[in-house]
Amino acid sequence: MAELQHPSRVVSKRTGLSTHVIRVWEKRYGAVTPSRTDSNRRLYSDAEVDKLILLKAATDRGHSIGNLAREPVESLRRVLEEDRRLNPAMVRTNVQPGARAATRSANTAGDGTRRDGFIDDALAAIMDLNSAGLDQILSRSLVELGQTGLLNQIIVPLTHRIGDLWHDGTITVAHEHFASAALRTFLGNASRPHAIPETAPVLVVATPSGQLHELGAILVATEATILGWRVTYLGASLPAADIAGAAIQNNARAVALSIVFPSDDPLMGASLSDLRRFLPPDVKLLVGGGASAAYQKEIDAAGAIRLNALQDLSEELTRLRAETR
> Mean pLDDT for the chain?
86
pLDDT at 89 (0 to 100): 47
Strands 35-36 and 42-45: antiparallel
Helix segments in the chain, DSSP class H: 8-15, 19-27, 46-60, 65-68, 73-86, 97-107, 111-127, 131-149, 156-167, 173-191, 215-226, 240-249, 268-278, 296-301, 310-324
At residue 6, the 3 state secondary structure works out as: strand
Can you give the residue ranges of every domain in the chain?
A: 1-94, 96-193, 196-324
pLDDT at 29 (0 to 100): 85
pLDDT at 33 (0 to 100): 92
Evaluate if residue 62 carries a pLDDT over 80: no
pLDDT at 110 (0 to 100): 46
Choosing among 2.60.40.10, 3.40.50.1110, 2.40.340.10, 1.10.1240.10, the CATH entry for 96-193 is 1.10.1240.10
Q: Average pLDDT, stretch 160-169? A: 81
pLDDT at 148 (0 to 100): 87
Choosing among 3.40.50.1370, 3.90.1150.10, 2.60.120.10, 3.40.50.280, the CATH entry for 196-324 is 3.40.50.280
Evaluate if residue 90 carries a pLDDT over 50: no
Evaluate if residue 92 carries a pLDDT over 60: no
Model confidence pLDDT, tens digit, residues 165-197: 887 677 888 999 999 999 999 988 887 756 788
Evaluate if residue 285 carries a pLDDT over 50: yes
Evaluate if residue 91 carries a pLDDT over 50: no
Query: Which amino acid type is present at position 267?
Result: L
Model confidence pLDDT, tens digit, residues 6-39: 998 889 888 888 787 888 888 888 999 999 888 8
Say which CATH architecture domain 1-94 belongs to.
Orthogonal Bundle (1.10)
**255, β-bridge pairs:** 204, 285
- Of 21-30, 217-226, 236-245, 252-261, the one with minimum mean pLDDT is 21-30
- Of 95-99, 118-122, 136-140, 294-298, the one with minimum mean pLDDT is 95-99
